[in-house]
Amino acid sequence: MRKVVFLSALALATTPVLAAPKNIIYMIGDGMGPAYLTAYRYYLNQGERPVQQTIFDQLLVGASSTYPDDDTLVTDSAAGATALATGVKSFNGAISVNRQHIPIGTMMQLAKRLGKANGIVASSQVNHATPAAFVSHNVHRRNYDAIADMYLDYRINGQPVADVILGGGTSYFIRDDRNLVTEFKQQGYQYAGSWQDLNQLTTKPALALLDKIGLPAALNSEQPAQLATLTEKALQLLSPAEKGFVLMVEGSQIDWCGHDNDIACAMAEMHDFAKAIAVAKAYVDANPDTLLVITADHETGGMSLGADGKYLWLPEVVRGVKATGRRIADEMNAADSEQAALARWQALTGINITDEEQQQLLAARGKEQKDLRDVAVRLVAQYSYTGWTTGGHTGADVPVMAYGKYSGAFRGFMDNTDIAKQLIRYISTNQTPKASE
């Protein structure tokens, strides 16, 4: 199996490169289409003119296509991540296998074979589609237990592919049939099961599973800067690495907010992701032999700034929302009266709604959480003039950002596979950059 798995990555690595970064930080904003960057810029702005650039704007170098290897043109996260991890397109649902279900070598597997260190960070469960595509293989992304098993069982040079694994997912790693956490510890991994324990991780290999599935949504979380904290910890654990490292950081829940058509949730996740990017950028500044590349696997929701024929978008409405649509629904459903439920709406959104809209909220109360959530996020979208075209993904191109001495290789338009191919070439070379480059 190993020869098959690494065939693709080694083939991509044959193209010579004159110089390569020692370390690669690869950040993926799941679902983060171009409108998300624009919305975040205005979301941060408090009415000043000119509108100030965000860290996304400052690092923007190009755009990428995302279509999968089928006739849909609209990728899911699994196929998108497979392309970004391997340089090869596959079908929706695939975790680094091709259409014949043959494993495709990933950049992290190649890095491990070459003696480099690897890390994955995610605000979802760590065995979710995007991180999974970098270290494992499966014919379907929903086979979470089997994917988690492969994180430990698949070895290169006698070691698991990922040296650092930080995020959520205890439900998949501590099960009735198997306790992977115990087995990771037996392999020498330090383990943290809470934010309080995170500081106890002092050296790689290390594993942190901080929630049963994904981490709390940024807008609901009591832990500030979740993704930035995990990114900083991962960089601490991976440094120094004699032959360098590859770190993948996913802002996973940007996508989840887009699926919910929840603009306030999405902007909070973008803010969390931006803080993590700032940590990575600071690392590049302090370690110039590091390349930072940021992109998305696809766009989610078909977001537009402006809706209902109005030339208007109101970020101040979005900024006033203090909880996700899911949390709003939970709190309204938990209220002991209709009056108390409407008081929770007002406290969590700051939006004054009509009597008819109040009745819409109350009519959905007591039903499935989704019913009340959908009304809540629709009202926030309505009052902020945010448009959504779908609860799924779209085929829109996504932004590409890069920073560091080698960022020029990612300028302009490219396919998602081209991003991976270039990174695989960098990983494969052991040449040292010349002082003049």
Q: Which of 156, 161, 151 shows the shortest CA–CA distance to 181?
A: 151
Q: What is the rounded distance in angstroms from the CA atom of residue 329 to the CA atom of residue 331?
A: 6
From first CA to last CA, the distance across the chain in angstroms is 39
CA dihedral 152, 158, 162, 168 (to 10 degrees): 20
Q: Is 250 annotated as a binding residue?
A: yes
Residue 199: both structure tokens together: 């500081």
According to DSSP, residue 53 is labeled P
Q: Is 255 annotated as a binding residue?
A: yes
Q: Is 393 annotated as a binding residue?
A: yes
Q: What is the rounded distance in angstroms from the CA atom of residue 137 to the CA atom of residue 413?
A: 29
Residues 6+ apart with CB under 8 A from 52: 41, 44, 45
- What residue has token string 């996304």? 56
Q: What is the rounded distance in angstroms from the CA atom of residue 185 to the CA atom of residue 20?
A: 34
79 in Cβ contact with 96 (< 8 Å):
no
Task: Please indicate whether residue 77 is annotated as part of the active site.
Answer: yes
The backbone torsions φ and ψ at residue 119, rounded to the nearest 5 degrees and listed phi first, read -140, 145
| Pairing status of strand 299-300 against strand 117-125 | unpaired
Which of 8, 64, 65, 77 is catalytic? The answer is: 77
Q: Is 30 annotated as a binding residue?
A: yes
Q: What is the rounded distance in angstroms from the CA atom of residue 170 to the CA atom of residue 148?
A: 10
Q: What is the CA radius of gyration of the chain?
A: 22
Q: At what angle do helices 338-349 and 325-334 cross, to 10 degrees?
A: 150
* Residue numbers annotated as active site: 77
Q: Which residues are annotated as a binding site for Zn(2+)?
A: 30, 255, 259, 297-298, 393
Q: Which residues are annotated as a binding site for Mg(2+)?
A: 30, 128, 130, 250
Q: Which residues are annotated as a binding site?
A: 30, 128, 130, 250, 255, 259, 297-298, 393
